[in-house]
Amino acid sequence: MMADKARPVLITGGAGFIGANLANHLASRGHAVRILDDLSRRGVDRNLAWLCAQHGERIDPRIADVRDREVVRAAVQDVAAVFHFAGQPAVTTSLVDPRHDFAVNTGGTLEILEALRAVPAPPPLVFTSTHKVYGCLPDLALRFEGSRWRPVDDAVLAHGIDEHRRLAFRTPYGCSKGAAEQYVLDYAHSFQIPAVVFRMSCVYGPRQRATEAQGWVTHVLSRAIDRAPITIYGDGFQVRDVLFVDDLVDAFVRAWTQIEMVRGHAYNLGGGPRSTLSLFELLDMIEQLRGRRPHVRFEPWREGDQRYYVSDTRAFAAATGWQPRIGPRAGIEALHGWLVERALTPWEASHGC
């Protein structure tokens, strides 16, 4: 299936980190991009200003909440695809205000689904979930080796966690995203909406304005550049697979253009076993980049933390041919360059859509 350029593409949360990177990719290739975003996350207005400065009338911003039923119904009309990224993204925030977390992540997703169900021929829907739907993985046997935890099971070590893993929602965030993804999968079957779910691991890259609660690679690197102390929750040996945002954008486009191959499925998506980092290994890499090791302090493990999570991406690769191309070192060097040079430019401060 060829990407449809005759109709706009809708990206909810399109001013955010992932949304802005996808919007830039699509607009650069001639697509009109409709962005639905309430701009509630600090700094994303700069991403929207950047998109407008880069692409002008190809960007159609609609500043509204994804829970606004009438706005959502109008936004899905005549679109070629919907990428639904709008949501509350942090575990810690969900623990403070579970009602808001549920209302945005689950309720907002249901508004998107219901709006699509009312469309005579619903367009493809790509939804971003999270690896947190698998919980804390307390039964995953680990051994300590070198600067990281490693699985005892050789198959998990070689390939990561696959989609056959039992769902075990933990924290309000895990519950709200898990419930939302199950609605997406059910609407794909009950109402024939061509939808696919990505259970994503750790994504990083330019235009990410991370916090301690979300976007750990960018947060740690930003703190190091500012010579500010870094708080490590746990022991620092916990491992994640990391995925550079350009590779994620490639996966999104493949899912859209090959929707008949992936509709109705949930896929684990991340850098996979070849793109893993422990927190201490990231600090080592930063020391090599900066010539100075960041100062760290330690706090207890947080609710819902996993000592090890790596995505098994073989199912999505088999369906679409996708493979990540940018390894951690190249990606972190690229992100470091962007962070160092990200001082505000005049158009970021003064131009809007």
- DSSP state letters, 288-345: HHHSSPPPEEEEPPPTT--SEE-B--HHHHHHH-------HHHHHHHHHHHHHT-PPP
308 flagged as catalytic: no
Burial class (CB in 10 A: 0-12, 13-18, 19+), 39: middle
pLDDT at 344: 41
pLDDT at 1: 66
Tens of pLDDT, residue by residue over 125-148, are: 999 999 999 999 999 999 999 899
- 3-state SS of 211-260? ECCECHHHHHHHHHHCCCCEEEECCCCCEEEEEEHHHHHHHHHHHHHCHH
312 occurs within a structural domain? yes
pLDDT at 43: 87
Residues of the chain with pLDDT under 50: 343-347, 349-351
330 occurs within a structural domain? yes
Query: Which of 47, 42, 40 has its CA nearest to residue 68?
Result: 40
1 occurs within a structural domain? no
pLDDT at 347: 44
pLDDT at 256: 98
pLDDT at 6: 85
Catalytic option among 173, 187, 267, 308: 173
Q: Which amino acid is at 162?
A: D
pLDDT at 5: 81
81 occurs within a structural domain? yes
Tens of pLDDT, residue by residue over 163-211, are: 999 999 999 999 999 999 999 999 999 999 999 999 999 999 999 987 7
Domain range holding 264? 9-350
pLDDT at 342: 77
Measure the CA–CA gap between 47 and 205, rounded to whole angstroms: 13
263 occurs within a structural domain? yes
How many distinct structural domains can be found in the chain?
A: 1
pLDDT at 150: 97
pLDDT at 348: 52
Assess contact for 14 and 35: CB atoms under 8 A. yes
Domain harbouring 130, CATH code: 3.40.50.720
pLDDT at 214: 78
pLDDT at 3: 75
For the chain, what is the largest distance between any 2 Cα atoms, rounded to a whole number of angstroms?
59
3 occurs within a structural domain? no
Query: Which of 105, 103, 122 has its CA nearest to residue 12?
Result: 105
169 occurs within a structural domain? yes
130 occurs within a structural domain? yes
